[in-house]
Structure 1
């Protein structure tokens, strides 16, 4: 008789919401070949993905191909699900009623929030090609009455108004100018007392302990033109420049954290 070990059964069974294999699939299908050019990336500071050969950029390549959309959504869900579960259970939602997840992908963060906080209503906001995947996920979980899927571009469109604005693995894709712009848009969408929550592999301020966060930042070099992971001190500076009054850090799973700014 053969059976999965307990960890394998939890994380490598495609029929379970805790499935993490999507990230392994994307690493195998996309990322592994790009890392062979790490030396060139370090010397030039340029991405080493599809854009290197004149093909579409990372997000252009993903969002124009339905199979790649699903692969990317599943990868992000797998690597982030544990963080979403912890955040949904540990964050104090008692003073809030609505949440908008910017770059909400498959709607998984919103799902965990409403499953663990029955009074909450959520919006999952992402580009139009992602909406069918998110809507399908929400319908499977029978959460249509609690989660609204809304399409838009977070660079060109205003953020939907909500008591809490979240971004999971979004800010690290972009350079400082775009990071600040997205933080300012979150500030403008929130009421006084509202919370802006960024779930990332936040690097420790002296940049010596969170090796995974540093490696993820290196992966942003491979995959993006200006993206990088950041410290809480970085986030605090950007958030207060936008108008937020305070910031804090909530530990999640492994090397990941939620950086929280209050308006």
Structure 2
């Protein structure tokens, strides 16, 4: 109130959608994680470039020998990471699960499915399928407590480590923002396991931010690749690099869909 005039302020429509905690498309948790965790790793970007490795030890004082042991170094940090992934797939999930017609695949395993947001998007698009979230026991526990409710029919859980434990047989395996965490050799190791357990006629759906073949962009994917350097063992890749990994694992028919958004989709079948 000033000079008997009343000034009213409100959020814009975009701010209401992406910045308020109550919005189903909120980026609040993504921004919070970037501020409290990613930013601390980026403080050591110069060291990461010089050494070619992530900076968990400098940023948080923890070893990254077990990568996700470092990422999930406390229940609070694990929940924060899962909230980040949840917000990402609440916004981007529909684009990638609709990039291909996945209706022929009835049994789907979302490897590293985390909060289940992508699994939920998949069930909304293809109500005739069953989606199982395959993740570490502590992640499954957190997902049950905070993200997946009894109303999410069609979503189930399988506890395990996809590098160490056998994979259940399925029609389709989803690897969404998984391979970019790992080196080529570890990515090939995982894809080979997927190929061996995949039913004939089944496949794998990769969801990643794809680089241009000349590495000129997109800028978002380039920035994500730097983030992979400071936080993980991996990097973002070009379509040809993912195709080479899939071919080496045994997959034959490889299709690519650019969504025009942050994440793209690659479907390879057996």
TM-score with structure 2 setting the length: 0.89
- Distance of 1:50 and 1:29 partners within structure 2: 16
Alignment partner of 1:17 is 2:27 = no
Structure 2 gap segments, 5+ residues each: 1-7
Report the counterpart of residue 234 of structure 1 in structure 2.
241
The question of whether the paired residues in 2 share the 8 Å contact of 1:34 and 1:48 is answered with yes
- Distance of 1:39 and 1:209 partners within structure 2: 21
Report the counterpart of residue 204 of structure 2 in structure 1.
196
Report the counterpart of residue 135 of structure 1 in structure 2.
144
Alignment partner of 1:68 is 2:77 = yes
Q: CA deviation at 1:64?
A: 4.2
Alignment partner of 1:88 is 2:94 = no
Q: CA deviation at 1:9?
A: 1.7
* Cα 1:117/1:84, change in 2 over 3 Å: same
Q: CA deviation at 1:151?
A: 1.0
**Could you say what secondary structure the match of 1:255 adopts?**
coil
What CA deviation, in whole Å up to 9, does each residue of 1:180-199 have, x standing for no partner?
01111111221122121111
Structure 1's consecutive aligned runs of 4 or more residues displaced over 3 angstroms after TM superposition are: 50-54
The question of whether the paired residues in 2 share the 8 Å contact of 1:123 and 1:148 is answered with yes
- Of 33, 38, 43, which aligns to 1:36? 43
Alignment partner of 1:220 is 2:228 = yes
What CA deviation, in whole Å up to 9, does each residue of 1:143-178 have, x standing for no partner?
1x3000111001101222211100111101111110
Aligned pairs, how many? 260
- Of 192, 196, 209, which aligns to 2:217? 209
The question of whether the paired residues in 2 share the 8 Å contact of 1:104 and 1:124 is answered with yes
What CA deviation, in whole Å up to 9, does each residue of 1:90-131 have, x standing for no partner?
421232211100000001111111122110110001111111
Report the counterpart of residue 186 of structure 2 in structure 1.
178
Q: How does 1:102-121 map to 2 (within 5 A)?
A: 102-121=111-130
**Which one has a bigger Cα radius of gyration?**
2
The question of whether the paired residues in 1 share the 8 Å contact of 2:41 and 2:59 is answered with no
- Distance of 1:249 and 1:172 partners within structure 2: 17
* Cα 1:53/1:95, change in 2 over 3 Å: closer
Alignment partner of 1:98 is 2:121 = no
- Distance of 1:61 and 1:49 partners within structure 2: 7
**Could you say what secondary structure the match of 1:193 adopts?**
strand
**Could you say what secondary structure the match of 1:191 adopts?**
strand
- Of 159, 162, 175, which aligns to 1:167? 175
Report the counterpart of residue 163 of structure 2 in structure 1.
155
TM-score with structure 1 setting the length: 0.92
Q: CA deviation at 1:208?
A: 0.9
Report the counterpart of residue 55 of structure 2 in structure 1.
48
* Cα 1:61/1:112, change in 2 over 3 Å: same
- Distance of 2:21 and 2:260 partners within structure 1: 21
The question of whether the paired residues in 1 share the 8 Å contact of 2:103 and 2:129 is answered with no
Structure 1 gap segments, 5+ residues each: none
